[in-house]
Structure 1
Amino acid sequence: MPSENTVDTLQRSLRDLMRQNNRAGRVVVAIDSLDRRAAGEFADGFEKAITEEGTTAFRISLADGGPEARERFVAPFRAGEEFGAGFVAPADAVLVVDGRFLHTPEVRGLWNFSVWLESNPPLGMPRPELPDAEKHYLRTARPKAAASVIVENSDPAHPVQVFGDFC
């Protein structure tokens, strides 16, 4: 049974949650998933939720692991310098990045707020075997533990925030 909440409602709620600790300034948000397309679509919607509150938002997609993130995007964005395709962020702005493997130790500290998107197969269906690189990432980076928020995204129109108990 799908959630009664829509993706727009959840993204506004996540925006408000992000704002609890990041009221102003240049904020960097990561949307991480093993499914690159799902991460991009969710990030597009999150950018829209940011602009609805009147804040300037920028969107970029990163290669696996975001090796170029710090030098090419995050550092110049935070400094108010030109980044990406010639953008310059005002004093209060949000940079929403999406990609895969964005919770590795090398880049996880770049994000002020991060979302881990996961999806599960329909009930009764077996979980597909993951490639070795994805299994390694899940085991070593532990994105569910590293992310600010976990979102179950099996139904992209009705995603649900998951509250993991790590005790």
Structure 2
Amino acid sequence: MSSPENPVQTLQRSLRDLMRQNARAGRVVVAVDGLDAHRTRAFANGFAAVLGEDGTPVERASVGDSEPDVRERIVAPFRAGEGDAVLVVDGRFLHAPERRGLWNYSVWLESNPPIGSPRPELPDAEKRYLATARPKAAASAIVENSDPAHPVQVFGDFC
């Protein structure tokens, strides 16, 4: 008797397949960005596991909000390595204009309060980030992750 498919892994496998359409080989760097650092890290850990299911070497890194040396400390050393591999980086503000060119593929995790619940007031830094960086428009994929056990890919219409 087979076990039911895990909805999180199903979505992550779908994202993996989309990512590999454009980044099949080499040293691939993936960003998982979201305002909720805990949920972002958890999603990135699961995505890294799914990426490695076929034996692809996968490395993980987490980035703080204001780490200025992401390129020098994390991305450049990874890209200097040999062979096919994937680096999954999680953090907040990863779609900021100065960081966008670091990623071959990126995921924006959207979290919304339940319907009928008030939307909490965001800190100024988060408001500025959403308004200026527009992570939903910059991301390769958008995932509605309000219920982390049942994430859903969202297809934005930017026309």
If the length of structure 2 is used for normalisation, what is the TM-score? 0.94
1:66 is displaced (CA, Å) by: 4.4
What number of residue pairs does the alignment pair up? 155
- 2:58 matched residue in structure 1: 57
CA positional deviation for 1:157 = 0.8
Aligned residue type for 1:107:
R
3-state DSSP class of the match of 1:31?
Answer: strand
> Which blocks of at least 5 consecutive residues in structure 1 are unaligned?
81-89
Over aligned residue pairs, what C-alpha RMSD do you find?
Answer: 1.2
Partner of 1:91: 83
Aligned position for 1:127: 119
Residue 31 of structure 1 corresponds to which residue in structure 2?
32
Partner residue in 1 for 2:134: 142
3-state SS in 2 of match to 1:48: helix
Q: Percent identity?
A: 75
1:8-47 per-residue CA deviation (whole Å, 9 max, x = no partner) reads 1000110110000001000000000000001100000000
Partner of 1:103: 95
**Alpha-carbon distance change, 165 to 5 in structure 1, aligned in 2, over 3 angstroms:** farther
Contact 1:65 / 1:107 at 8 angstroms: preserved in 2? Answer: no
State the one-letter code of the partner of 1:127: R
| Gaps in structure 2 of 5+ consecutive residues | none
- Given the superposition, is the C-alpha separation of residues 36 and 54 from structure 1 closer, same or farther in structure 2, using an over 3 Å criterion? same
Structure 2 counterpart SS, 1:139: helix
Q: Offset of 1:68 from its aligned partner?
A: 2.0
* Alignment-mate amino acid for residue 40 of structure 1: R
